[in-house]
Amino acid sequence: MTKLGNDFENFKTWDKENYFHPWEGLKVQGAGKADRTFSEYAEGIYVYDEHGNKVIDGPGGMWCMQLGYGNAEIADAMAAQARKMAYCSPFSEATSVSAEFAHAIAERAPGDLNRVYFTTGGSTAVDTAIRFVHFRNNLLGKPAKKRIITRAHAYHGGTYLTASLSGKPSERQWFDTDQVLPHFLPDVNAFRRPAGMSIEAFLDEKVADLENAILELGADNAAAFIAEPVLGSGGVIVPPAGYHKRCLEVCRKHDVLYISDEVVTGFGRLGHWFASEELFGITPDIITCAKGLTSGYAPMGAAIFSDRLFKDIEGDVSKDVYFTSGYTYSGHPVCAAAGLKNIEIFERDGILEHVRKVTPHFQKRLHQMLELPLIVDVRGMGLVGCIECSLTREGQASAGIDATIGAVIDARCQELGLMVRPYGNMAIFSPPLVITEAQIDDMFDMLTEGVQRATRELL
């Protein structure tokens, strides 16, 4: 057995040889050869890398570090819970911290979404939501009503089921996914709408896409529509005003359930506990969330179901029936303790109000980026932003040659002390929600300089 030492080079070697990372790129370095930068310490919005550089965490971890790093109160709450009761089987037992957290989430969820099913993260939350929809329709004697309508460029997770519902082309090509269950709607990105088409006409077309899909599949087969309020990792696509409301109306008309995937948008990212109701005026049937649920301090997700759905499956219909899906770590007490403390801090420190207060400044600085020649579109809402770049200024058609611009921008920004999340010809950022206006300025100043350096290098 290898003896643990503190020689840093050992860790680098073990990282390459033993740690199979998600999204491991095989093309450039070969499997397990990526030279990753290590970080051992972080505080607030800053990560300190192995070279001692202080870097603003532009992506906020993986869109999850709402309260930033080094929050001693959450760490203490988790430690106390681990000492008191580290684990409790969600299958056969109950414990107060998990029940209290379920209640706290239900109190903040829209409408009658009161049934909180805990999972281990976002993928398992969406997976559970879909399995519940199928389960319910089986109980209601509608075994054919199973198809799930999803959207191009959506991301719903990394399990077989949720990857099958995800529409980011770059992530689908080397895997097998279910070809029967999903039905993909075309791109909802207004930036890519045909030249001369108004936003209103584009909106009409997108809503018609959904209705036509339901008609094509048949309402007896179409079970649910799943959508991120703001489509996140697929390029921060903000829908035209009224989109979700009209889609919900279409769903209701045809008895199709509406699943709002708030894994990114939930827990403060857009200035509210959930974006569905407050920003988009809808009460969906199911909401999925994760990430900000514990501010990234513990792995946890939740699928929140409406009381209406539960009524459907109560009584005679569910005699001797079990919802036989679950996880050893559902409702884990240590994660629940992190989540409860997270909510307490959000409310005590006015985090949602803070996000709403700094959002106009963040979005103003984001939209000013459009003045840079490399940038062809900027999109964002709340504390989420994305710049889309093109070398040809014909952004619509140049995806191939522009595919690595995001990575170049990230590299140049990192030299200046800012991390961004590259995605093809885009760079995405979703900083910790505790970011101040002065730090937002630092971030966009570095981003501007990073884009300028990338432009000089690329053009």
Please give the residue ranges that form the binding site for ligand PLP (CB under 6 A): 121-123, 126, 155-158, 228, 232-233, 261, 263-264, 290, 301
* Complex with ligand PLP: residue 126 or 443, whichever CB lies closer: 126
Min separation Cβ 259 and ligand PLP, Å = 11
Q: Which is nearer to ligand PLP, 158 or 326 (CB)?
A: 158
Nearer CB in complex with ligand PLP: 127/410 = 127
* CB of residue 171 to ligand PLP, shortest distance in Å: 11
CB of 424 to ligand PLP, least distance (A): 16
Of the pair 60, 450, the CB lying nearest ligand PLP is at: 60
- In one-letter notation, the amino acid at residue 155 is Y
Tell me the closest approach of the beta carbon of residue 47 to ligand PLP, in angstroms.
19
Q: Please return the burial class of 113, using the count of CB atoms within 10 Å of its CB with bins 0-12, 13-18 and 19+.
A: buried
User: Residue 225 phi/psi, 5° resolution?
Assistant: -115, 130
Give me 347's structure tokens: 């409310």
Residue 430: CB minimum distance to ligand PLP, A: 10
Residue 62 to residue 396: CA distance in whole angstroms: 27
DSSP per residue, 283-344:
--SEEEE-GGGGTTSS--EEEEEEHHHHHHT-GGGGTT-------TTTT-HHHHHHHHHHHH
Residue with tokens 């301090």: 297
Contact 342, 432 (CB under 8 A): no
Q: How far is the CB of 235 from ligand PLP (least distance, A)?
A: 12
Least distance from ligand PLP to the Cβ atom of residue 304, Å:
14
**Nearest residue to ligand PLP, scored by beta-carbon proximity:** 122
Cα–Cα distance, 181 to 172 (Å, whole number)? 15
| Those residues with Cβ within 8 angstroms of residue 431's Cβ, 6 or more apart along the chain or in another chain | 45, 56, 57, 58, 59, 60, 383, 439, 440, 443
Nearer to ligand PLP, 264 or 409 (CB): 264
Give 189 or 233: the residue with its C-beta nearer to ligand PLP. Answer: 233
End-to-end CA distance of the chain: 51
Q: Is 278 within 8 Å of 307 (Cβ atoms)?
A: no
Residue with Cβ nearer ligand PLP (177 or 439): 177
Of 155 and 243, nearer to ligand PLP (C-beta) is 155
Name the minimum Å distance from CB 267 to ligand PLP.
12
